[in-house]
Amino acid sequence: MLDFPQTSLLQLTVTGKNVISIEAAVKFVKLAFTYEEWSLFDSLAGQLIDFLQRQDDPESKKAEKDLILLVAIEPLINIKRNKGLVFPMENCKGQSAQIYVKKIIFHDSCVKTCGYSEDIFHLAATLYSCVCDSPQNVQPDKEIVVDMIMFLWQKCKLGIQKINMARSDYAKLTQKISSNKVFLFVSFYLL
């Protein structure tokens, strides 16, 4: 008969027992993100970030930055949460990973996230903080950083296109009004 421990693997990792490595726990949380297991990701990411924050080695700090970036982008790509279909795990007693990470990045001045554009701003601020405010040996994974930059560029590009469309619509309207004025002036003159 197999004898499994009665405590969870995360608790064993946090207490320092060599049952599961930190690297394996981080990979597991990243897999939960990749496979869009949002409840699992949200409940584990905050706890693991909390644990990694208390570590002093560069590998743990790098893993912490990776998870912080994934938590920051999650509300922008999690369609189910935006529709109200995902709820945090009920047996998770900690705060959600979103609130926890916002407190880390914004130094306890937690920003209220009311809309999509604020989530984009939060992602950009988090990306800046993780990349620019970190030493060279604690930089987040380059693939994650590039994906975040490409995501932000796509969102900014759409905004710029909307501004340009509005500007061209304004130019068309101005041209239409001025041509109507000429038409009215000519019509009035001919009468």
Mean pLDDT over 119-136 rounds to: 90
The pLDDT of residue 178: 60
> What are the boundaries of each domain within the chain?
9-140
Q: Is the predicted pLDDT of residue 140 greater than 90, yes or no?
A: yes
Least confident of 34-38, 72-76, 115-119: 115-119
Closest CA to 94 of 50, 53, 37, 34: 50
Give the C-alpha distances (Å, rounded to integers) separating 68 from 5, 16, 54, 169, 171: 30, 22, 14, 41, 44
With a cut of 90, say whether residue 148 has pLDDT above it: yes
pLDDT for residue 47 is more than 70: yes
If one counts every other C-beta atom within 10 angstroms of the C-beta of residue 171, the result is 10
Query: What is the pTM assigned to this prediction?
Result: 0.66
